[in-house]
Amino acid sequence: MKVEIVSLFPDYFESVFKQSILRRAQETGLLDVSVYDLRRYTTDKHHQADDYRFGGGPGMLMLAEPLFTVLSELTEKSRERPLIIYPTPRGKPFQQRNAIELAREPHLIFICGHYKGIDERVIERWVDVQYSIGDYILTGGEPATAAIVDAVVRMIPGALGDFDSAKGDSFFQRVLDAPHYTRPEVLDGRAVPRVLTSGHHKNIERWRLAMSKFITQRKRPELLNT
């Protein structure tokens, strides 16, 4: 998968893609990441990338022209039209099934917004999908982009050492994950549930499924009705 990110703060991603699964995915050739500094696509000597909004009001808006320029350049270089994603509070909630769907895409481009966002004409002309990672506001689109890319890359076949591990994650089967334990068997007077040390795999599977449903019912009951 090829991932390209357009950002006013490209240094944000300096360490993000050098860690864990994202780093290994690049080293094994499963992932190719490029980050572009939007200010390099501005035309004035001050490299201004924002301006006041028409109609007034507090807050600046990212200029459309630099985004048009960089997106034109990136799409023209691509063999196929990339899927262009804009993380924004206005987007549809990003969920595990979206990560699975995006993992099938060969080329993703992310636009990291700032201030009051980006000029609507950029969305109309270029953006294919808008995602929100939650009902709260971030300083910019970089953390949201990093979260989405992380969720997507781990769904690329071969990115995880054991893909069956991902199948047990929360939300993969529309339920939350069951509790997990490791050594020691007894800690602070608290013992690991006996079923997990029984060696009876069918009973362990039933217990984990029951616990997943129980925890989901308590914490996220809406998941059981979707």
Q: Is residue 112 part of a domain?
A: yes
Query: How far is Cα of residue 155 from the mean position of the Cα atoms in its chain?
Result: 11
**Are 41 and 142 part of one and the same domain?**
yes
Q: Domain of 119: which CATH number?
A: 3.40.1280.10
Q: Is residue 161 part of a domain?
A: no
**Are 112 and 16 part of one and the same domain?**
yes
Please state the φ and ψ torsions of residue 99, each to the nearest 5 degrees.
-60, -40
State which of 100, 126, 153 marks the end of a domain. 153
Cα angle vertex 220, ends 216, 225, to 5°?
85
User: Over the stretch 85-122, which tens digit does the pLDDT of each residue have?
Assistant: 999 999 999 999 999 999 999 999 999 999 999 999 99
Q: Domain of 208: which CATH number?
A: 1.10.1270.20
Q: Is residue 24 part of a domain?
A: yes
pLDDT score of 33: 98
- Local confidence band at 165 (pLDDT 50, 70, 90 cut-offs): low
Q: Is residue 158 part of a domain?
A: no
State which of 95, 127, 153 marks the end of a domain. 153
How many structural domains are present in the chain? 2
Q: Is residue 184 part of a domain?
A: yes
Task: Please list the alpha-helical segments (H only) found in the chain.
Answer: 20-27, 64-77, 96-102, 120-126, 142-153, 163-167, 201-219
Query: How buried is residue 103: exposed, middle or buried, by Cβ count under 10 Å (0-12/13-18/19+)?
Result: middle
**Are 147 and 174 part of one and the same domain?**
no
The pair of structure tokens assigned to 154 is 């781990």
Residue-number span of the structural domain to which 108 is assigned: 2-153
Q: Is residue 49 part of a domain?
A: yes
Q: Is residue 162 part of a domain?
A: no
State which of 153, 176, 201 marks the end of a domain. 153
Q: Is residue 163 part of a domain?
A: no
**Are 12 and 119 part of one and the same domain?**
yes
User: Residue 136 in 3-state DSSP?
Assistant: coil
- Answer whether 0.75 is exceeded by the pTM: yes
**Are 140 and 187 part of one and the same domain?**
no
User: Over the stretch 185-220, which tens digit does the pLDDT of each residue have?
Assistant: 999 999 999 999 999 999 999 999 999 999 999 999
User: Over the stretch 10-48, which tens digit does the pLDDT of each residue have?
Assistant: 999 999 999 999 999 999 999 999 999 999 999 988 999
